[in-house]
């Protein structure tokens, strides 16, 4: 894994804050997995599987790392868990707080990057720690994962899901399906929220039409904010890290993450697996 220096880490954190603050109100529209019924069903099934492994515990404490607008947190809350959510973006936390309030559920929310959060909460242990579509934003994702692994109770679970699989976009079929899905997503966003046309035009036409170019203040370097999105995470290193820390891998799967039934079916048929998930259980100390 490449060595990332502190100045680059700081830039990556800053771009993540800017991007997620900017997208907080449209996050659920922008990200296909939030409206993909098959994936949402998978999340519920995974959580039920996880909680089934912890059925002897009266109260299950969950830490949702990079909780965003609440995709995983709210599902754990619905199942009666005690949930702590951590996110680097204050505006994303505002969205999940509103959702939890509407469900009349209590959730503990912390605005922090994960490195700082773990450093300040050294004694807290959790029965479940989830990383939902967050590790690829982190330049040192293996170190953050290892820190999280040490904060899990004996027999507890680590849930990694929605992360880009390695070598995504390398072959023609993958690029083809992804491009179709991207075009569908652009059309969907414009249909649901026409104001998104402005940001889309800025991305595709800013270099040609000067007045569309984002101001320096508003510019977000998404390549930095989603540092490993293009190359994907190394699933072998992830599994190795889990095994080194005495975790048993209960489920490892690579799957397509598309926003529409057509592209999802096409990806399944062509075996275009863009995302990965891992469910692992800590062995007794």
Classify residue 169 as left (phi > 0), alpha (psi -120 to 50) or beta.
left
Between CA 149 and CA 241 the distance in angstroms is: 9
Q: What is the pLDDT of residues 184-213, one digit of tens each?
A: 877 777 777 665 555 555 555 544 455 555
Say how many CA atoms lie within 13 Å of 165 toward its Cβ. 18
Contact 164, 233 (CB under 8 A): yes
Between CA 130 and CA 65 the distance in angstroms is: 6
Closest CA to 234 of 145, 174, 173: 145
Q: What is the pLDDT of residue 191?
A: 74
Whole-angstrom CA distances from 63 to 86, 159, 263 are 8, 10, 32
Q: Which domains does the chain have, with CATH numbers?
A: 6-167+222-259+271-282 (3.40.50.150)
Closest CA to 279 of 256, 240, 253, 257: 253
Q: What is the pLDDT of residue 236?
A: 94
Please list the residues that pair with 163 across neighbouring strands: 276
User: H helices then E strands: how many in the chain?
Assistant: 12, 7
Q: What is the pLDDT of residues 9-65, one digit of tens each?
A: 999 999 999 999 988 988 887 777 777 788 899 999 999 999 999 988 899 999 999
């Amino acid at each position: 894994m490449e060595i990332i220096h502190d100045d680059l880490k700081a830039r990556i954190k800053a771009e993540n804050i800017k991007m997620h603050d900017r997208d907080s109100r449209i996050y659920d529209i922008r990200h296909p997995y939030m409206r993909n019924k098959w994936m949402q069903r998978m999340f519920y099934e995974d959580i039920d599987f996880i909680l089934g492994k912890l059925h002897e515990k009266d109260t299950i404490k969950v830490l949702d790392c990079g909780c965003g607008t609440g995709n995983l947190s709210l599902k754990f809350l619905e199942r009666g868990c005690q949930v702590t959510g951590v996110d680097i973006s204050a505006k994303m936390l505002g969205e999940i707080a509103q959702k939890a309030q509407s469900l009349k559920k209590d959730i503990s929310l912390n605005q922090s990057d994960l490195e700082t959060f773990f450093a300040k909460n050294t004694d807290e242990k959790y029965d479940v720690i989830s990383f939902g579509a967050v590790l690829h934003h982190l330049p040192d994702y293996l170190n953050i994962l290892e820190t999280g692994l040490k904060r899990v109770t004996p027999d507890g679970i680590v849930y990694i899901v929605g992360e880009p699989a390695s070598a995504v976009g390398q072959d023609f079929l993958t690029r083809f399906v992804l491009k179709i899905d991207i075009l569908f997503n652009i059309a969907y966003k414009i249909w649901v929220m026409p104001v998104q046309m402005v940001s889309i035009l800025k991305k595709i036409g800013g270099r040609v039409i000067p007045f569309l170019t984002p101001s320096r203040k508003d510019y977000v370097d998404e390549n930095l904010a989603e540092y490993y999105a293009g190359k994907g995470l190394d699933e072998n290193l992830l599994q190795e890290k889990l095994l080194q820390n005495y975790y048993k891998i209960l489920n490892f799967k690579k799957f397509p993450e598309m926003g529409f039934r057509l592209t999802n079916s096409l990806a399944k048929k062509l075996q275009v697996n863009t995302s990965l998930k891992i469910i692992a259980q800590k062995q007794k100390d």
